[in-house]
Structure 1
């Protein structure tokens, strides 16, 4: 029967019941992002930009004859940002209820605090330099750039690098453990488990290098990107230089040519790179899940986990399945962010404002996946015996090296080596053969003694080429 209509509204409970899983069940895994991409973090970043713009204008004497700030006063203003707390959040909420404009609320809040710092008389004139010649987007674009930069460099990248290093460590440990490869789901040329994991680590590392090289762009050039108000108010200033030094002083890359908004192209590029990392990680999850199902990895028991509510023997690969789901959610958001943020009608529209509030959710699901994959990998034990059993059951995979040797001999003019592919196909296709059949076949080919000896000694487990040596391409850190 349906839930009763008369029930206690969960939305009224204290503490607040989270609507989304990231702020509820999975809060612990994504908590570091709250300091960078929450609404409170956005307001703190806006306050930071407004404070630094006021200090920049006064410190550089951009407006002739304007008052200046002492070192102590500058420090007090910056402390508003470092000491930003629940009281500041509450006060801003009250101001915004009156202004119905979030950036204007920051301006009024800073003016109040400026009065506390420099006194009523000086605050009257200095207050006019708060948000001077700025459009809201001058504050917002630099704030988001700082927030995303912090989220990536201080939260997401360290987590991703740690996972890739964990994976690389597993690859090195399993470098020489032979593995029956599967192409199109069919038994194929053997490899090693370490080499297969190294491929994924290598791919992920390349994406981390791209993410690490992100340029976080910012602009401060007024309502339509022309410095119109700036030039009319203070015609003698080199406003491009003022803007550039300010933006670069924030630790961002200056964008010299924009509409009212910074174009967000750098965001689209970044989110595409993170999404590509996610997709490769998703590939790792599906591969490891498959290895578990094949018995090549055993999941560590004795951790107090319940694998199935009805089947006591099961230990389900839940970490990798959870990660798959979260990577798909993350990519859905990252893809829509990347595709929509690069478009804005004429000078600007407000779609980017709503869209950017989902950045934290997009990165949050990725971080949750990183956490699950790391925990999943930590709970695995390789089972070389299971891998060896499959190798020993598939001697037909040695048809490849035998026909390759025959081709090389035929190219050198050795007689009797014609049609090697067809001869091996007749022996191996559609049926299983063992070591005795293969050795008998090799000895009947009329090979030179050296080649025959090499092929007779070859086994599926030793036919791994230079797989172990290839791991030298892995970097010591991601």
Structure 2
């Protein structure tokens, strides 16, 4: 069978293709090859400008034509490289041969051996991959997450004054406001985004074992460390790791994975909270004509968007956990275990993207059921006990906590009338009694 959304093994490229297809520009095999071509060409141009004296005569007017190779890189170009890879059994070497073919077409026959000059494959992979990772987070992930936060902020504002019974340990607790509870997640995610954006996009660039051996032996008078820093930091906009083996040590990439995992954990927390509020009937969900919630129970409108999100976030976090734990470990100067793992870095990001979009879709379906929130508060007058005993503490009343405990630690319902009758028994002024009787579950919501 040919590959299609119906035949794909992974739901990322199958069932959820519409939600993830934009990541193909960053993490597909085609994208990886294109980013390798990009790095090789920019490296050659930089060599001509700053690195090798005998290349400084290179006609810079050809730079635009060289850059057109990656700017207009096509699927046919990628197929050419994959065909060459079958001959060479080496993916990066196939890119080098592709560029030599294109350079020859531009008449640059004398420059062919300066393509991939002095480099090992990981100088290309460990710059191309963090470059694509940076672009994917910058162009896709962060904007999508910011859209999600904006949706939460709008709901927090809309529900800012809606009183709601809080539940600690699942039990009735001091009332809160719905908007504030949503704002909790706005703050948590915002803090994590700030932390994520401080993590460098690190890259390795230094030859076969990180020492610029080949560069140094060929051109001993060139400051290759300065050249490498300039190329990676300035041209590519990454951060060059200064002391490496053959590969990047991935410590900063692991930090990215950990940060993304923390954000996903916060999103799981949100999804479970909203799911629970729906089960408590605090929220109804918009009904779409023609859609079915259950194959057997026609009345049901299930919170599937939040369930879908939770499942995908769990998948993403399992993979982020493996990436963060595995990639920083490599035997001696290099083993190949990172290579196959790196090809999967787009997978947890795809599951995360599915989840964020699903959660936004779920949030947009919510209909506040204020009558149920109010009824829940009405049925739990016991929660004002904290307020009463705190005011009694202020007044110097003896053992106020114990006094309220006697009233509230019962299986009998505590009503407004029971609270008022209790207040009448207290040895306090009429003004304080009036103050205590004015406290209600929907007014006792703090600041």
Into which bin does the TM-score normalised by the smaller protein fall?
over 0.9
Change over 3 Å in CA distance of 1:85–1:12 after alignment to 2: closer
2:279 pairs with one of 288, 293, 300: 293
1:183 pairs with one of 161, 168, 176: 168
2:415 pairs with one of 406, 410, 434: 434
1:265 pairs with one of 251, 275, 278: 251
**Aligned residue number for residue 95 of structure 2:** 106
Q: Deviation at 1:66?
A: 2.9
CA distance in 2, matches of 1:451, 1:229: 86
**Aligned residue number for residue 241 of structure 1:** 226
Q: Deviation at 1:149?
A: 0.3
**Aligned residue number for residue 87 of structure 1:** 76
2:85 pairs with one of 96, 107, 116: 96
Indicate the larger mover: 386-395 or 221-230.
Answer: 221-230
Change over 3 Å in CA distance of 1:137–1:257 after alignment to 2: same
CA distance in 1, matches of 2:423, 2:183: 34
Deviations 1:300-357 (A, max 9, x none): 1134321111111110000000001000000000000001011111101111111111
Deviations 1:113-151 (A, max 9, x none): 00111x1xx41x311110001011100000111010011
CA distance in 2, matches of 1:150, 1:268: 17
**Aligned residue number for residue 22 of structure 1:** 12
Indicate conservation of the 8 Å contact 1:271/1:335, yes or no.
yes
Does residue 456 in structure 1 map to residue 445 in structure 2? no
CA distance in 2, matches of 1:158, 1:91: 34
CA distance in 2, matches of 1:165, 1:389: 30
Indicate conservation of the 8 Å contact 1:219/1:243, yes or no.
no
Deviations 1:157-193 (A, max 9, x none): 1111100110111011001100000000100000011
Deviations 1:234-292 (A, max 9, x none): 00001111101100111111211111111111110001000100000000000000000
**Aligned residue number for residue 366 of structure 2:** 380
Q: Deviation at 1:38?
A: 1.1
Does residue 312 in structure 1 map to residue 298 in structure 2? yes
Q: Give SS of 2:54's match.
A: coil
Indicate conservation of the 8 Å contact 2:389/2:400, yes or no.
yes
Indicate conservation of the 8 Å contact 1:67/1:126, yes or no.
no
Indicate conservation of the 8 Å contact 2:45/2:63, yes or no.
yes
Q: Which runs of 5+ in 2 are unaligned?
A: none
CA distance in 2, matches of 1:75, 1:69: 13
Q: Deviation at 1:442?
A: 1.2
2:312 pairs with one of 326, 342, 354: 326
**Aligned residue number for residue 53 of structure 2:** 64
Q: Deviation at 1:405?
A: 1.1
CA distance in 1, matches of 2:130, 2:428: 67
1:205-224 correspondence to structure 2 within 5 Å:
205-224=190-209
How many residue pairs get matched? Answer: 445
Q: Give SS of 1:179's match.
A: strand
1:319-398 correspondence to structure 2 within 5 Å:
319-398=305-384
CA distance in 1, matches of 2:241, 2:84: 32
2:425 pairs with one of 417, 420, 444: 444
Q: Which runs of 5+ in 1 are unaligned?
A: 1-10, 411-416, 467-478
Task: Tell me the TM-score normalised to structure 2 length.
Answer: 0.97
Indicate conservation of the 8 Å contact 1:275/1:334, yes or no.
yes
Indicate conservation of the 8 Å contact 1:396/1:428, yes or no.
yes
Deviations 1:87-106 (A, max 9, x none): 10110111101110000001
Cα root mean square deviation, aligned: 1.3
**Aligned residue number for residue 32 of structure 1:** 22
Indicate conservation of the 8 Å contact 1:46/1:139, yes or no.
yes
Does residue 405 in structure 1 map to residue 391 in structure 2? yes
CA distance in 2, matches of 1:129, 1:448: 93
Indicate conservation of the 8 Å contact 1:396/1:433, yes or no.
yes
Change over 3 Å in CA distance of 1:315–1:16 after alignment to 2: closer
Task: Tell me the TM-score normalised to structure 1 length.
Answer: 0.91
Change over 3 Å in CA distance of 1:426–1:16 after alignment to 2: closer
CA distance in 1, matches of 2:193, 2:431: 47
CA distance in 2, matches of 1:142, 1:349: 18
CA distance in 1, matches of 2:156, 2:278: 16
Indicate conservation of the 8 Å contact 1:300/1:380, yes or no.
yes
CA distance in 1, matches of 2:31, 2:410: 63
Q: Give SS of 1:65's match.
A: helix
CA distance in 2, matches of 1:246, 1:303: 57
**Aligned residue number for residue 47 of structure 1:** 37
Indicate conservation of the 8 Å contact 1:269/1:338, yes or no.
yes
